[in-house]
């Protein structure tokens, strides 16, 4: 009786099924890690931007240019970073969201908002906001001591700049 030296069709199918099961289990473990890494990167960039805003405000106050602090609220906070993150795609007058890659940052010049497009493999919930997107704006905070609604360096107290989210969202680990 002559024996074939190759795999039989049944043996080949068993190997393919075993590889598919292992690949599925691996993807089930790796994809959530990618989503978590994107969330951590978002939080880190947001913290870096908050720090850059406060340093810029401190520099302006030290130079005696406190009157220009309110201008920071309309500007692009990414411009304050020495090196923007690799996933920052730029500043646009009227950006088309579909043209922006996922897991990336961009600045909407028209709305004066910094936007992060949430990537795939995350458990992100926009909670009524734009799906898959986080919008941030810079908020100028001051004590309006004279009640006129505008910041006057001589009479009003500067309290800080905050990078605040425009819409609520949930992005668990």
Quick: pLDDT tens for 109-129. Answer: 999 999 999 988 788 999 988
| 132-155 pLDDT tens trace | 999 999 999 999 998 888 888 888
Instruction: Kindly tell me the number of DSSP H helices and DSSP E strands found in the chain.
Output: 1, 5
Q: Which residues contact 81 (CB under 8 A, 6 or more apart)?
A: 48, 49, 52
* Distance in angstroms (rounded) separating the CA atoms of residues 67 and 60: 9
Q: Comparing C-alpha atoms, which of 149, 10, 134 is closest to residue 70?
A: 149
Q: pTM above 0.75?
A: yes
Task: Report DSSP state, residue 75.
Answer: S
């Amino acid at each position: 009786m002559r024996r074939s030296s190759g795999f039989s069709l049944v043996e080949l199918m068993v190997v393919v099924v075993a590889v598919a099961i292992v690949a599925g289990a691996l993807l089930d473990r790796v994809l959530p890690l990618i989503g978590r890494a994107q969330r951590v990167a978002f939080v880190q960039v947001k913290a870096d931007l908050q720090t850059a805003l406060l340093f810029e405000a401190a520099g302006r106050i030290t130079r005696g240019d406190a009157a220009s602090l309110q201008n920071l609220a309309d500007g692009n906070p990414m411009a304050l970073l020495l090196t923007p993150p690799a996933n920052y795609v730029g500043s646009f007058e009227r950006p088309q969201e579909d043209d922006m890659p996922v897991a990336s940052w961009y600045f909407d010049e028209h709305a004066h908002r910094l936007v992060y497009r949430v990537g795939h493999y995350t458990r992100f919930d926009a909670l009524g906001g734009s799906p898959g997107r986080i919008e941030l704006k810079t908020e100028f905070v001051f004590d309006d001591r004279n009640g006129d609604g505008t910041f006057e360096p001589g009479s009003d107290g500067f309290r800080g700049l905050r990078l605040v989210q425009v819409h609520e969202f949930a992005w668990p680990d």
